[in-house]
Amino acid sequence: MRQSDIFVTNKNSFHHSDRYAGIDYDFPPNQRVAIPVEAATHMFGFNCPDKTETLTRLGWAMRYNTKIKQYEDNPQGIQKLANFVFTRAVLVEEVLPETSAGEVGNASIPSPELSLCEE
C-alpha cells in the first residue's frame, strides 16, 4: 500500500469489479480495498462534484421506463455509487527493539513475530 492509497468499502449487497491502468480491482461487499486515489477518481468519481460521467461509465446513470418508453435518470444508480465509502489509512510509527541494522535495543523484549532470522 502506498501513502497516497485510500480504502474503498463497498456497502452495496453486490460484488463490484472495475479496472484502472491495466489493473483489475474487486470490491466484495463490506470489505476494505486499498486503491490509488487516481483509480478511485476514475472508478467512483472520488473528489469530483459531478458524478454524471462516472454513473454513465458504470451504466448506472439512466434506466428505461417501459411505461413511457423513454430513458430517465436512475436514482438507484446514484445510491449504488453513494454506497462506496472512502477512508484514508493512518500510518503509525512504532520503535522496534532493534533500532538500526547494527544496533540492538533492549534485548529483554523478545519480538518473534518480527524475526525472519534463524537462531
HEC secondary structure over the chain: CCCCEEEEEECCCCCEEEEECCEEEEECECCEEEEEHHHHHHHHCCCCCCCHHHHHHHCCCEEEECCCCEEEECHHHHHHHHCEEEECCCCCCCCCCCCECCECCCCCCCCHHHCCCCC
Q: What is the pLDDT of residues 28-40, one digit of tens each?
A: 999 999 999 999 9
- What pTM does this model have? 0.70
CA distance 47 to 37: 9
Report for 22-26, 56-60, 99-103: range of highest mean pLDDT = 22-26
If you search the block for the grid coordinates 438507484, which residue do you land on? 76
Tell me, what's the pLDDT at 93?
Answer: 77
Q: What is the pLDDT of residues 1-21, one digit of tens each?
A: 666 799 999 999 999 999 999
All 3 cell numbers of residue 97? 527493539
> Span 38-50, mean pLDDT?
95
